[in-house]
Structure 1
Amino acid sequence: MKDLVQSVELGVTQRKGVKVTRPKVWIKNELVRVGLAECLCTYVMMAFGLGSVAQVVTGQGAFGQYLSINLGFGLGVAMGVHVGGKVSGAHMNAAVSFTMCTFGRLAWKMLPLYVFAQLLGSFLAAGTIYAVYYEAIHAYCGGNLTVTGIKATAGIFATYPAPYLSLLAGFIDQVFGTAMLLLCLMALSDQRNKPAAAGSEPVAVGLLVLLIGISLGSNSGYAINPTRDIAPRVFTAIAGWGADVFRAGNGWWWVPLVAPPIGGVLGAGIYKALVELHHPRLSEQGGGLVEKLEEEENAPLEKQKNSCENVCV
C-alpha cells in the first residue's frame, strides 16, 4: 500500500550527534490521516458519552443522574478534541462539517470523508459500549430489548423524543440546539472577538456541549448531530432492538438527520451576519495584519492548519 512508507534508515538516524528516532511505518497521505483522526476522536467522544448513558440507565440512579450524562458527553467532546483537533479539526459532527463547507472553511470534496469517519467511529463506539455493558443491559431489562416502555434500553444509544413532543416541535428543538452550538463555536474561534484562549479550546467546547445538555436536553436528548444518532441507531437495529428503532416516536429517526445541518448553517450564519462581518478592520485600529487574518478565517480547512475552531459533538 503506497500510503504506508517504510523508513529506509531502519528507524534511527544520526544527526549532529543526536539520535533521532523515526517510525518504521507511517501514513503519508493526508486524507488517510485526517480520516483516521476524525474516526478516532468521534469514537472517543461517543464511547464516553454512550457509556455515561448506559451507566445511568442500567444503574437505575445508583451510579449517576441526568447531569452525569451531560458531563459524560461534555468531557467526551473535550477528550475528542485532544485526540484529533490538530489533525482533522475534530468535528465529530456532520452538522459541523456541513456548516464548515457551507461557509468555505472546508472543501466540499472533504465532506464524504468526514461523514464516513464520523459514522464509523460512532458505530464502533456503540458496539463497544454494548459489549462492555452487555450483562448490565440484559440484567436491567431481563433480556427483553425494547425501544419504549419502563425498561426501554434503545435510548442508551440513540435519541428519542419525550412522549409529549410532536415531530414539528422536535424538529424546531434540534434546529435551535444545533444553531446555538454553531453560533457559539463561531464565537469561540473568532480571533477578532473574544476567542477561547490558546490551549483551552477543548475545555471551552466541552463546556458548550455541557451547557446545551443541561438547558436544551430534556425534549429529545439533544442529538444535534446526524452521525452521532444514526450510526448507533443502525447498530441497535442490528443488535436486537429491531426495526422499532426507526418506528418509535412517530418515525423520529429522520429528525436528528435533517434538522441539525439546517440549524448549524442558521446559527453560524446569524453570528456571521450580526457580529463577524461588522468587525472594524485592524487598519482602523492601528494594526496592519488585516489581509492575513481575513485570508486565514476564510480559507478552506484543507489549505490551513487544522484547529479546534471546527470542533463539536
Structure 2
Amino acid sequence: MSKVKDVLENLREKIQIHNPRIVNLLSEFYATALLLFFGIGVVCQFVLSHEKLNTWINVNVGWGFALGLCVLLTSKTSGGHMNPAVSLLMVTLKRLSWTDFFLYCIVQTLGAFVGSALAYVVYLDKIAEYSHGLKLVSGANATAGLFTSFPGAHLSNCGAFIDQVAGTAVLTTCVAGIIDKRNGVPGWVHPILFGVTLITIGNSFGMNLGYPINPARDLGPRIFAYLIGYGGEVFSFHNYYFWIPVIAPLIGGLIGAWTYILLVGSHIPDPDKHVVAEKDEELQALG
C-alpha cells in the first residue's frame, strides 16, 4: 500500500494544477460530461428496450444518483455546478465572478456534448437497430429525444417556458436551502440531497419535457445530435422550441433561490442567538 501511495503522491506532485480557475473549469467539464454519460445512458436503456429494462422511476432515480455522484466528485474543486442556472445563481450570491460564469457555461456545454457522444458510442448499435438506421426527431422510431428535449404535441412553447422556469426554480430553491449555513446541513450530505432534489423534480414535473432544467444539459447534446445527422430539425422543431430550455432555466433559477432567501433564509436565527434565546426561555420558566 505504501508503494502505491508513493506512486500516487509522486504523480500528484508532477501533474497537479495550481491555478484555481483552470482546476474549476476542468472539474465542471468533467462532472458535466460524466453526468450526461450516466443520464443519457439511463434514457437509452429506457427507450431502446421499449421500456422493459427501465421504468420512469428508474430514469428519475438514475439521473438523481448521477447528479449526486458528480457533485461529490467535484465538491472540493468547483463544487459541481454542471448547470449555468446554478452558476448564475452563484454570481448573484457573489460566489462566482461574471468571467468565471461565462467560462463555466462554455465548459459545461462542452462537457454535455462530450458526455452525449460517449453515451452514443456505447449504444450506437442499439440505436441503429431501434431506428432502422434512420435519424428522426419525431415519429415512432425517433431517437433524437435520447439526447435532448422535445415537447409533446400537447405543449405550447409558452407552456414549455413556464415548465422550465418552474422546474429550475424548484431546483435552486432546494439548492439555496441545502447550502444555507444556518440550516446546518453537513457538507457531505449536500450531494445526496441534490440527487434527491432531482429525483423529486423528475417525479413531479417530468411529463412535459423530461425536466432538462439546465441550459448546458440541453444545448450540448442538441448540438451533438445536429452534427451526427439529425439535422436542423433539432433546432426548428416545434416552432424553434430549442431556445426555451436555454433561457428559461436562467430565469427560474434566480426566482427559486431568491424566493427562498427572501421568504425563509433571511429570517433563520443564527445558531448562537437561537441557543441564547432558548436559555432565556428556560430562565424565564424557572423564574
The TM-score normalised by the length of structure 1 is 0.82
Q: Is 1:42 aligned to 2:25, yes or no?
A: no
Question: In the alignment, residue 122 of structure 1 is paired with which amino acid?
Answer: A
Match of 2:199 among 203, 207, 210: 210
Counterpart position of 2:245: 256
- Cα pair 2:173 2:259 within 8 Å, conserved: yes
Deviations, residues 142-162 of structure 1 (Å, cap 9, x unaligned): 001100011110000001112
- Cα pair 2:135 2:142 within 8 Å, conserved: yes
Q: Distance in 2 between matches of 1:56 and 1:110?
A: 36
- Cα pair 2:151 2:208 within 8 Å, conserved: yes
Q: Distance in 1 between matches of 2:226 and 2:108?
A: 19
- Cα pair 2:39 2:66 within 8 Å, conserved: yes
Counterpart position of 1:138: 128
Q: Distance in 1 between matches of 2:168 and 2:15?
A: 40
The 3-state SS of whatever aligns with 2:78 is coil
Q: Distance in 2 between matches of 1:128 and 1:134?
A: 10
Deviations, residues 234-259 of structure 1 (Å, cap 9, x unaligned): 00000010001011122110000110
Q: Distance in 2 between matches of 1:274 and 1:26?
A: 43
Deviations, residues 58-107 of structure 1 (Å, cap 9, x unaligned): 11122112222112211110110121111001001000001111222222
Q: Distance in 2 between matches of 1:75 and 1:56?
A: 16
Q: Which has the higher mean CA deviation after the structures are superposed, 176-185 or 105-114?
A: 105-114
Counterpart position of 2:182: 192
Q: Structure 1 residues 283, 128: CA separation in 2 closer, same or farther (over 3 Å shift)?
A: closer
Deviations, residues 99-147 of structure 1 (Å, cap 9, x unaligned): 1112222222210221112111100001111111110000001001100
Aligned residue pair count: 270
Note the 1:24-103 alignment, pairs <5 A.
Answer: 24-103=14-93
Q: Distance in 2 between matches of 1:33 and 1:191?
A: 25
Question: In the alignment, residue 243 of structure 1 is paired with which amino acid?
Answer: G
Counterpart position of 2:210: 221
Question: In the alignment, residue 205 of structure 2 is paired with which amino acid?
Answer: L
Match of 1:270 among 259, 272, 287: 259
CA positional deviation for 1:284: 3.7
- Cα pair 2:27 2:78 within 8 Å, conserved: yes
Question: In the alignment, residue 21 of structure 2 is paired with which amino acid?
Answer: L
Counterpart position of 2:149: 159
The 3-state SS of whatever aligns with 1:219 is coil
- Cα pair 2:60 2:203 within 8 Å, conserved: yes
Structure 1: 5+ residue runs without aligned partners?
Answer: 1-10, 13-19, 288-313
Question: In the alignment, residue 119 of structure 2 is paired with which amino acid?
Answer: I
Counterpart position of 2:285: none
Q: Distance in 1 between matches of 2:204 and 2:255?
A: 19
Q: Distance in 2 between matches of 1:282 and 1:55?
A: 47
Counterpart position of 1:239: 228
Give the structure with the larger helix fraction: 2
Identity of aligned residues (%): 38
- Cα pair 2:182 2:270 within 8 Å, conserved: no
Question: In the alignment, residue 27 of structure 1 is paired with which amino acid?
Answer: I
Match of 1:175 among 165, 168, 173: 165
CA positional deviation for 1:272: 0.7
Q: Distance in 1 between matches of 2:90 and 2:252?
A: 13
- Cα pair 1:44 1:79 within 8 Å, conserved: no
Q: Which has the higher mean CA deviation after the structures are superposed, 100-109 or 52-61?
A: 100-109
Note the 1:273-312 alignment, pairs <5 A.
Answer: 273-282=262-271, 284-286=273-275
CA positional deviation for 1:286: 4.9
CA positional deviation for 1:169: 0.8
Counterpart position of 1:16: none
The 3-state SS of whatever aligns with 1:165 is coil
- Cα pair 1:162 1:218 within 8 Å, conserved: no
